[in-house]
Structure 1
Amino acid sequence: MIELSTKSSPVASIIFAVLALLVISVAVLFILRYYLPLRTTPIELLIPVFFALWLPASMVLLVPIDLASSALADDIAARGIWLDRGTLRVSWRIVYWLTFALTWFILPILGEYFDSGYREPKAKLQDSLRANAQYYAFVFGSGFIALLYVLYSYGGFSDSLKGTAMALAYCWGLALAIYLMGHGLVAIPRRLFRNASISGKLRRIQAQAPKVYEKMEDAEMTLEDLEGQVSELSRRKGGSVTLFQGWIEELVDMTNLPESGPATARVVPGSGDTSKSLPTVITEKYLAELTRRLVRAKHARARYVSEWNRLLQDAVTTQVVLDSAASKKLDFGAASPEAGFWDKRTILTPYTRFLLYFHIAPYLRIGLGTILALGSICIVWSEVIKGLFPNLSAIRYSVIHHWQPGGPSKPVKVATLTGEDNGQVGFAGQVIAAIWMLYMCAAALTSITEVKVWRGRALVRRNTAPESAFWYASQVARLSVPLSYNFMTFLGGIYRETVFYDFLGQLIDLTSLGERFDHLFPAFILLPVCATLFGLYGMAKRKIGFGVDVIDDDDDGEGTNVYGTGSWREGRDLIERELNGTSATIRSRRAEAAARIAGGRAAPVISVPGSHRARGPTTPLGTSPNARPAANTSARRAGPSSRIQDDDEDEGFFGALGHRFKNTIDTMDTPKWFQDIKKPKWMGGDEEGGGSSRPSQGRTNSDVRRWFGGSSEGRIRL
């Protein structure tokens, strides 16, 4: 047994732990506020989602405390935040079993309950249980088989049922966590390296534009089709419709039909006669399915409108930063009303802001990417060798502090269970352990948001669908325990002395199969790491491509046509047309409809600037035309010349030289005395007055590229 010193009291550690939990609670509330409108969200949704995020976050605090409490030093100054084993055991039981109940029972049932289209609570609950029946049949079937194996291996029944449930939950969560974390460990540093190039970042944004715009249009058409069915349903009289008249009126209120009445509802072109899609007899099951599809379509439309709005904002900001290289000044102008608190504060001058965004920020991204890449290498290395050579784990030496005999510090005398070297986790080691755990969790959770094969679920700012909120919260809760225990296995034999091992680890190691799985399976992290590092997802999507969107960070749109859309050039033109207001009527109607989602809750509204080229892509989204002055217009006076210099790759040296001569002369103000000079007839002037054809604009109409044997269209002939 471990002999703990009783000379000191953990009162200070308890106070620190309570304050840390309060900070975690405030952080979780801010996260919920970012994705959900707190005032209009029902309490039965907020409380489960809050605990599904708060409990995993508390594990980041509880694991370092458990590590420091398992091997206390005689030197009080060397101790970190520690608690007695009884308090730790109670804490682990509460955290684990609440997380277990939320993951496997509460959140799935509530998610299907809110996703159900029925009106009555009893019908909603029955529909939720029916939807989860197949899921629970698979879970209980696998649990029964595993229980038989544990009974055969262990020979007893006292802890077999509980151990089987905990071991199965851990194994399933570990398999999912290893795959997602392996992808994230490569994707996060690579994204930082790629975003260090401003022009490359803009090109990737432009490459994503056609795909996002196409999905937004598909979501709009799907919603209009469903609204047409509701309109046709409301026009029916008599028969079975009279039994559900109140329900149908609620559906009409949910749609974006004109106020003049359902008879003038839109009919989607190419969708055929809407009345043919309605059944002859209207049943409760049909109305429930129609309600479910309508709610999902509204949230899908809100998701892609928000994604398109964010993409335009990123394109605007990146273009402004890129154009600031000419004037050495960067001015984003007045912030939009929807901007955050820090976005509305103006601290830096235009010149210092230019230095920060154009020169310093790329190097900061490269530096942070390098640090995270080294951290990813350490995590992958520790996963691969921990089963064979646990003493070679890089994370182990960064967390555990060892003292050698005769050194400056007194050796720690702790009766370890494994006979390994004595070690102590101090406060610095606890902070480092928390940072490692946060990075591992961030890598796994970032990958969840990038996988788009799970029924179109997504996190939308201020307008996340209830079913999506429950699903993402359940994934966070499911991954927290495997990642926490997997991190503790990096630390060698010291983790076997923790309360967490006594509570969970002994049940996982109950059979030889569970112990081998825990030590050998994490080595398979090399599969998602290599798949992400070498772009195997993109290759599989292009070769197989069943219309399924997989994790792929390599798809930059260059020369590919996977989604039926063009490359980054088409995205560039699409963004310019959108910012110039060429489809203002459609966007206005889409914005008004998005604002009515989910009973008038806050929704992402796309607001596009006017069509004046002077503001062009430098005007932020969501602001009025007079809210922001033109930024860096001196670098983009020539209209089409405002495009980035990616076009230079498609032309030769003389073509680029001609472009630069033309841009320089076109941006010069013509002197008044030069405008009065008449052109000779052989230079294309008329007999009466061959002056400048556009004197009012103060620019000549000549094209310097013709001097090199080219045409005004930009082609140079040698």
Structure 2
Amino acid sequence: MVEIAESSSPVPSLVFAIVTLLCISVVVVLILRYYLPLRTTPAYLLVPVFFALCLPASMVLLVPIDLASSAMVDDIDAQGIWLQQRTLRVSWRITYWLTFALTWFILPILAEYSDSGYREPKDKLVDSLRANAQYYAIVFGSGALGLIYVLASYGHFSESLKSTVMALAYCWGLVLAIYLMGHGLVSIPRRLFRKANISGRLRRIQTQAPKVYEKMDDAEMDLEDLEMQVAELSRRKGGSASLFQDWIEELVDLTDLPESQTGRTSVVRGSGNQSPLPNVITEKYLAELTRRLIRARHARSRYVNEWNRLLEDAVRTQAILDSAASKKLDFGKVSPNAGFWDRPPLLTPYTRFLLHYYLIPYLHAALGAVLSIASICIVWSELVKGLFPQLSVIRYSVIHHHVGGNGQVGFAGQMIAAIWMVYMCAAALVSITEVKVWRGRALVRRNTAHESAFWYASQVARLSVPLTYNFMTFLGSIYRDTVFYGFLGQLINLTPLGKWFDYLFPAFILIPVFATLFGLYGKAKRAFGFDVAVLDDGDDGDTDERGAAFGTGSWREGRDLIERELNGTSAAIRARRADVAGGGGGDARSAPVLSIPRAGRRDGTSSAVGGPTTPFGTSPTAGSAGPVSSGRPQANTSARRVGRAAAAALDEPEDENFFEALGHRFKNTIDTMDTPKWLQDIGQGIKKPKWMGGGGGGQGASSTGGNADIRRWFGGEGRIRL
């Protein structure tokens, strides 16, 4: 490291770093305020999540300062922001170990604590530790194997434990970071290019509408089932239920069913089960019921919010398209969530038309082109940093000064390094929001579930250190002089396995890049017949060449759903359904009741396929839906398209080529063929012997006829017991 001139002082740089850190903290608080209600959110959630977001964000500030401080330029005016080595070392230790503790211990325990259905804090903590036991067993088992390897290859016990823990945490985080970042490097520019096409944007919104509609319907029905279960539980006054009356009353307060509706649950649902409740009510059962009810409430809130946002986007996009003729754009009444540029006093209808029809699409296209080039540079730097580090584009964009053959970073290089890091982190974090995770975790504006907030915060903390160190390896040998390398890098390179892993594994970024670029996720869905993709493009889901998303229905159906919702047809149906279900009572729900009957009942009976339909897509002769058999317009999902495949094919004759039409004709012919008479008669004349329960008739005897059935040897009633 070049010696620092005596006339230079770290005080201005220290003030700049403190002010920047305060700005980062304010941004983190605003993010928390966007997704969580700060006044009602407990402190045990806000404080850990705040540090889990603030500490990784501060690494974007620490890395450029560390680069400039470790490779100072001779010119004082070009030194940029620098700090003393001791200050940097303390900052890195605090940031790293706090992030490590949050990632692997604090956030997982608090996430299960918040998700636990028990009432007492002690019971919640015990349940959380029990739920994390398997997770920690895997972590500690992997750590033990790594410790044995390091001891065998390095031989020093004093550094083996710490180096193994840090190296294994880095390697696991790097695997996740490379995959997510590779997906995001393609997804972000592609989204911008797609948003530049207004008509294509509207088509994708309409394509997504059936899928979102069906998920919202499923979430609403699942919540209703749990609410009915709680209502039935509240009517038990004796036995084991009397021991948990306070708990049951709290569950009733969580539900939104009015008093007049609780007595008519069997009429509304018609589940077919006499009682879904166990004979003995236990604490474990109530805890699981509480957990499921809270998850169902958040799931309904998530999909209702997503559906409302989709409707708003559809209305705005349609208004932009329609304004091409009049050259005037008016979105109507301003939404409370409208942006600053959409306020009526600021823009006239003509200037708003120019902004949304011309300027914003061109800006999206230009920014998409710039980010595409940036993505190519990052992927190229990942591929060449191990063998040909001098070809790294990021290296030349950050290092602008060379003194005595050594690279030095000035203020301009610091700014560019921060921009590179922000884009890499954004690519990985955007991909996290598109991950189809277990338990249906999601970020919902002002109503994010506590467990989801902990989970997303832990992912941010887990990805920060691998992405930070991975960026520093782009810069060639200059990063070896940094404090961060002395703290973490030399421990990662402690063994040959860690060194080669750090240099060669990032080349696998081509796998998620190609998978996203060429639509391999959609091909996997078509090959396997279900959603096997871990990642998706969010509102830009995989679509086929005809614009229909697989398993979600066509864009035409989404257009009809949106139009019926906006015209108030669905609202009128919901009002009638509420009157029928609640006996005319008021609706006490905090969110709109968005529910339609399924294609089949929960007890397994399905509605008539291919029968006459109402104007809203429901069959008037559908199987026993009760008084609510006609509901909201059904989404034409893959399960509901089975009986209408031929009609759907007739609706789109212009979209099929010759081979597709020929294949469809063959398929329809085979599906409608009747079984030949001679094939049906095979086996009709074969008699079962009497010891197998056969009768004397020509037809095979029933499995329950006769006392000589061999199956009675194993069960006594003609059923084989295992």
TM-score class, shorter-chain normalisation, is 0.7 to 0.9
Please tell me whether the aligned partners of residues 196 and 364 of structure 2 are also in contact (alpha carbons under 8 angstroms): yes
Q: How far 1:509 moved relative to its partner?
A: 0.3
Structure-2 residue corresponding to 1:406: none
Please tell me whether the aligned partners of residues 233 and 278 of structure 1 are also in contact (alpha carbons under 8 angstroms): yes
Structure 1 residue 432 and structure 2 residue 419: aligned? no
Structure 1 residue 520 and structure 2 residue 519: aligned? no
2-structure distance, mates of 1:271, 1:563 = 30
Q: How far 1:235 moved relative to its partner?
A: 1.1
Q: How far 1:588 moved relative to its partner?
A: 7.0
Please tell me whether the aligned partners of residues 320 and 353 of structure 2 are also in contact (alpha carbons under 8 angstroms): yes
Q: Which structure 2 residues correspond to residues 95-114 of structure 1 after superposition, within 5 A?
A: 95-114=95-114
Are residues 341 and 348 of structure 1, via their aligned partners in 2, closer, same or farther at CA, if it must alter by over 3 Å?
A: closer
Structure-1 residue corresponding to 2:559: 572
* Aligned with residue 571 of structure 2, among 550, 571, 584: 584
Structure-2 residue corresponding to 1:454: 438
Residue range with higher mean Cα deviation, 559-568 or 194-203 = 559-568
Q: How far 1:347 moved relative to its partner?
A: 1.4
Are residues 257 and 90 of structure 1, via their aligned partners in 2, closer, same or farther at CA, if it must alter by over 3 Å?
A: same
Q: Which structure 2 residues correspond to residues 307-346 of structure 1 after superposition, within 5 A?
A: 307-339=306-338, 343-344=342-343, 346=345
Structure-1 residue corresponding to 2:636: none
Please tell me whether the aligned partners of residues 306 and 604 of structure 1 are also in contact (alpha carbons under 8 angstroms): no
Task: Name the amino acid aligned to 1:109.
Answer: I
Are residues 603 and 555 of structure 1, via their aligned partners in 2, closer, same or farther at CA, if it must alter by over 3 Å?
A: farther
Please tell me whether the aligned partners of residues 73 and 409 of structure 2 are also in contact (alpha carbons under 8 angstroms): no
**SS state of the match for residue 401, structure 2?**
coil
Are residues 430 and 213 of structure 1, via their aligned partners in 2, closer, same or farther at CA, if it must alter by over 3 Å?
A: same
Q: Which structure 2 residues correspond to residues 133-172 of structure 1 after superposition, within 5 A?
A: 133-172=133-172
Task: Name the amino acid aligned to 1:308.
Answer: W
Structure-2 residue corresponding to 1:66: 66
Structure-1 residue corresponding to 2:282: 283
Please tell me whether the aligned partners of residues 25 and 54 of structure 2 are also in contact (alpha carbons under 8 angstroms): yes
Please tell me whether the aligned partners of residues 225 and 268 of structure 1 are also in contact (alpha carbons under 8 angstroms): no
Structure-1 residue corresponding to 2:624: none
Task: Name the amino acid aligned to 1:555.
Answer: D
Are residues 330 and 341 of structure 1, via their aligned partners in 2, closer, same or farther at CA, if it must alter by over 3 Å?
A: closer
Residue range with higher mean Cα deviation, 235-244 or 312-321 = 235-244
Please tell me whether the aligned partners of residues 547 and 555 of structure 2 are also in contact (alpha carbons under 8 angstroms): no
Are residues 141 and 588 of structure 1, via their aligned partners in 2, closer, same or farther at CA, if it must alter by over 3 Å?
A: farther
Deviations 1:141-164 (A, max 9, x none): 000000011111111111111111
Structure 1 residue 250 and structure 2 residue 237: aligned? no
2-structure distance, mates of 1:91, 1:248 = 49
* Aligned with residue 445 of structure 1, among 416, 419, 429: 429
Q: Across the two proteins, how many residue pairs are aligned to each other?
A: 588
Deviations 1:490-516 (A, max 9, x none): 000000000000000000000000000
Task: Name the amino acid aligned to 2:128.
Answer: S
Structure-1 residue corresponding to 2:121: 121
Structure 1 residue 238 and structure 2 residue 222: aligned? no
Q: How far 1:648 moved relative to its partner?
A: 12
**SS state of the match for residue 259, structure 2?**
coil
**SS state of the match for residue 138, structure 2?**
helix
* Aligned with residue 524 of structure 2, among 540, 546, 564: 540
Task: Name the amino acid aligned to 1:372.
Answer: L
**SS state of the match for residue 240, structure 2?**
helix
Q: Which structure 2 residues correspond to residues 555-566 of structure 1 after superposition, within 5 A?
A: 555-556=542-543, 559=546, 564-566=551-553
Q: How far 1:88 moved relative to its partner?
A: 0.2
2-structure distance, mates of 1:502, 1:348 = 55
Structure-2 residue corresponding to 1:690: none
Residue range with higher mean Cα deviation, 518-527 or 357-366 = 357-366
> Structure 2: which 5+ runs fail to align?
579-588, 595-650, 656-722
**SS state of the match for residue 73, structure 2?**
coil
Deviations 1:252-288 (A, max 9, x none): 1100111337324475535323x43211111100000
Structure-1 residue corresponding to 2:294: 295
Q: How far 1:237 moved relative to its partner?
A: 2.5
Structure-2 residue corresponding to 1:470: 454
2-structure distance, mates of 1:371, 1:606 = 44
Are residues 241 and 543 of structure 1, via their aligned partners in 2, closer, same or farther at CA, if it must alter by over 3 Å?
A: same
Are residues 49 and 428 of structure 1, via their aligned partners in 2, closer, same or farther at CA, if it must alter by over 3 Å?
A: same
Q: Which structure 2 residues correspond to residues 131-210 of structure 1 after superposition, within 5 A?
A: 131-210=131-210
Task: Name the amino acid aligned to 1:368.
Answer: L
Structure-2 residue corresponding to 1:84: 84
Task: Name the amino acid aligned to 1:43.
Answer: A
1-structure distance, mates of 2:565, 2:416 = 47
Please tell me whether the aligned partners of residues 186 and 516 of structure 2 are also in contact (alpha carbons under 8 angstroms): yes
Structure-1 residue corresponding to 2:20: 20
2-structure distance, mates of 1:339, 1:148 = 58
Deviations 1:75-122 (A, max 9, x none): 101101000110000000000000000000000000000000000100
Please tell me whether the aligned partners of residues 14 and 83 of structure 2 are also in contact (alpha carbons under 8 angstroms): yes
Q: How far 1:564 moved relative to its partner?
A: 4.4
Structure-1 residue corresponding to 2:676: none
**SS state of the match for residue 423, structure 1?**
strand
Please tell me whether the aligned partners of residues 524 and 533 of structure 2 are also in contact (alpha carbons under 8 angstroms): no
1-structure distance, mates of 2:52, 2:454 = 9
Please tell me whether the aligned partners of residues 207 and 558 of structure 1 are also in contact (alpha carbons under 8 angstroms): no
Structure-2 residue corresponding to 1:215: 215
**SS state of the match for residue 20, structure 1?**
helix
2-structure distance, mates of 1:544, 1:560 = 20
2-structure distance, mates of 1:354, 1:571 = 26
1-structure distance, mates of 2:395, 2:653 = 49
Please tell me whether the aligned partners of residues 207 and 549 of structure 2 are also in contact (alpha carbons under 8 angstroms): no
Task: Name the amino acid aligned to 2:78.
Answer: A
Please tell me whether the aligned partners of residues 542 and 562 of structure 1 are also in contact (alpha carbons under 8 angstroms): no
Q: How far 1:6 moved relative to its partner?
A: 3.3
**SS state of the match for residue 107, structure 1?**
helix
1-structure distance, mates of 2:284, 2:468 = 43
Please tell me whether the aligned partners of residues 211 and 563 of structure 1 are also in contact (alpha carbons under 8 angstroms): no
**SS state of the match for residue 69, structure 1?**
helix
Structure-1 residue corresponding to 2:364: 365
Task: Name the amino acid aligned to 2:563.
Answer: E
Structure-2 residue corresponding to 1:691: none
Report the TM-score, using the length of structure 2 for normalisation. Answer: 0.78
2-structure distance, mates of 1:506, 1:499 = 11
Structure-2 residue corresponding to 1:395: 394
Q: How far 1:452 moved relative to its partner?
A: 1.3
* Aligned with residue 488 of structure 2, among 485, 504, 521: 504
Residue range with higher mean Cα deviation, 134-143 or 359-368 = 359-368
Structure-2 residue corresponding to 1:490: 474
**SS state of the match for residue 334, structure 1?**
coil
* Aligned with residue 529 of structure 1, among 510, 513, 533: 513
Please tell me whether the aligned partners of residues 195 and 364 of structure 2 are also in contact (alpha carbons under 8 angstroms): yes
Please tell me whether the aligned partners of residues 390 and 490 of structure 1 are also in contact (alpha carbons under 8 angstroms): yes
> Structure 1: which 5+ runs fail to align?
404-411, 414-420, 592-601, 608-646, 652-718
Please tell me whether the aligned partners of residues 92 and 484 of structure 2 are also in contact (alpha carbons under 8 angstroms): yes
Structure-2 residue corresponding to 1:686: none
Task: Name the amino acid aligned to 1:572.
Answer: R
Structure-2 residue corresponding to 1:417: none
**SS state of the match for residue 72, structure 2?**
coil
